[in-house]
Every structure is written in C-alpha cells, then in structure tokens.
Amino acid sequence: MTRGIVRSPFGVMPDGTPVDVFTLTNGAGTSVRVLELGGIVQSVRAPDRAGALANVVLGFEDLAGYLGDRNYIGALIGRFAGRIAGARYHEAGRTYVLAANDGDAILHGGPRGFDKAVWRGRICDEGKRVRLHHVSPDGDQGFPGELAVEATFELTEANAIVLTFSATTSGPTVINLTHHGYWNLTGQGAVRDHRLSVHADEVLEVDAVMAPTGRLTPVEGGPLDLRRPRRIGEIVDALGGVDYTFILRGGAWLADPASGRTLEVWTTEPGLTVYTANQFETGGPHPRFGGVALESEHFPDSPNHPAFPSTALWPGQTFFSRTVFTLGVEGP
C-alpha cells in the first residue's frame, strides 16, 4: 500500500447516504481503515514478529454487516459511553429522561447513538490525519443541548493510532465518548491466550444489572488484579467474562504470545472499561471471547454519582480527550 491517506467509497445507507472509508498507511505497512458510519475502525493491519501483516480488530467486510451489528464493533460511542441507570439524571433542579435501550437503562448513547450516525470526514493537517464531524441535535436520545463533536485519527510511523475527541455544546449537557474496538492480536479465534495488564488498583462495583453502585472495589488478590500480566482465559474462567471499569493509575498492555504482537494503551481519561465479548452469540460472525474491548472513558452512570469525575459540559467549554494505541512486537 501507498504511505499516506486514501479516501474511497465503502457503501450506501438504506436512505441513500453514501459512506466513505479512509485508509491510513505508514511506512512500515501498518494500515487503519476508518468508516464514516459510526467512526468505525473497520480494520487495523499490523505486523507480527516475522513481519507478516494481519487484521487485529474485529470487523465486517461490508456495510450490511455493520447495519446488523448489535455489539458496537469498532464504533465511536456517544453521547454517553456505558450505562446511565434508569435512563435519567438530575441537573440544576431538572430531570432529563433519556431513551432506554438496555432494560430501564440507556447504554452507549441509546438506540440511535453515535455508532449509528454517518459522520462527515475529511483528510486534514497536510494529509496526516482524518477528522470526522458529527452534530447531535438538542434532545437527541433525550440529551439536552446541541453537541458538535470531532474525532481525529492519526497513524504514526511508530505504529501508534492516536484518537482525539473534542466537543462543544449549546446548552448544559453530559458527555462520555469512547472507541469500542475489539482487539484480537492473533487475527482470528479467541483471545483466551492473550496476556492483559491494567495499571489500576480499583474497579467500579456494579449491581445485578451492571449499573455502578458508587463504590470502588480493590483488585488486590482477586481475578481482576491485572497490575501484572495475566492470561485472559484465566480471568474469564474465574468470572465468566469481564465487563468492568478500571480506575486508571497508568496505562494498559495486551500481548499475544503466538504472534508476538503487543498493544499499549495510554489515555487522558480516568477509566478503562474492559469487555471480553462475553455476550457474543454462539454461531455468530465472531466467536464468544473473540476480542477484547479496551474502552478509555469516564465512568458509567457518572451523572448520578457526584463523587465520580464530572462528565458535565457547559456552553463556552470544550471537551477534549486523547487515547493512544501503540502496536508493537516482542520476541519469542
């Protein structure tokens, strides 16, 4: 592939809206494909220890696959990543009722979240980056204020994928944005043999419907103590799967001993939600535990927990976050 960024058609939405794909390629041959639909990262082709390239994220070959997907594969998530319990929150004496899509909660922005939107993209910064733009109208999924969001992707020569978000609002609102990519550094099969570490001493405690209780649980000595690398299969066997938000004190690291590929994650966000594809359907397009999502974000249900880092955004303010996914290799 030619080094740089190439824009090309990918498909057409049912309403006739065209969707383009941007392919970013560096000098090492690593490439990233980003769709205008949902800001989806369709593929990341990266070398193993022998230099062989393979796609290391889950995805679909065509638009139809994404239109039928219910697992947010590869997508940008908003307005609010994670759950807001009861699909409502209170701010300045007013209650905002949101569009529930997960029992009585709202999950990942609602039934028509940012993952379903067609963002408008362009190549910018002298051909170095792809910038996607989306405007969420006042009242979208129940959230107040018109929200203008930009997501920028860059692939560096050091095999780092740099994702930045910025957003402004016309009225007081809440915001929590993330990328919901599923990583599989082998390129196929399950990720049970991957090693994962997360620099965190605590995770959010959740109730029976996966809503945060407001309390933090120490990881010390338990299956979620990932301060040293652990095999994902060991964690999954102990818990039946992982779907927890870690309180970050540093970064996260993922490795596949078979291929030698590694992934390092650093972010400005206070939390990292780790999800091991526990609910993927047997016989579906991707196997259960076929990938691991590393979602850098603020905490779920933050508007209902004043002690959590604030997710409020006010007119005149600019939301900003930056997450860097660096791909590498290690020896035998």
Cite the active site residues.
180, 295
96 alpha carbon, distance to own chain's centre: 25
The answer to whether 131 and 120 have CB atoms below 8 angstroms apart is no
Cis amide bond preceding 79, omega within 30: yes
What is the rounded distance in angstroms from the CA atom of residue 25 to the CA atom of residue 45? 9
302 three-state secondary structure? helix
* Tokens describing residue 303: 């508007």
Phi, psi of 49 (to 5 degrees): -65, -20
Burial tier of 245 (Cβ tally within 10 Å: 0-12, 13-18, 19+): buried
Q: In whole angstroms, what is the distance from residue 28 CA to residue 203 CA?
A: 37
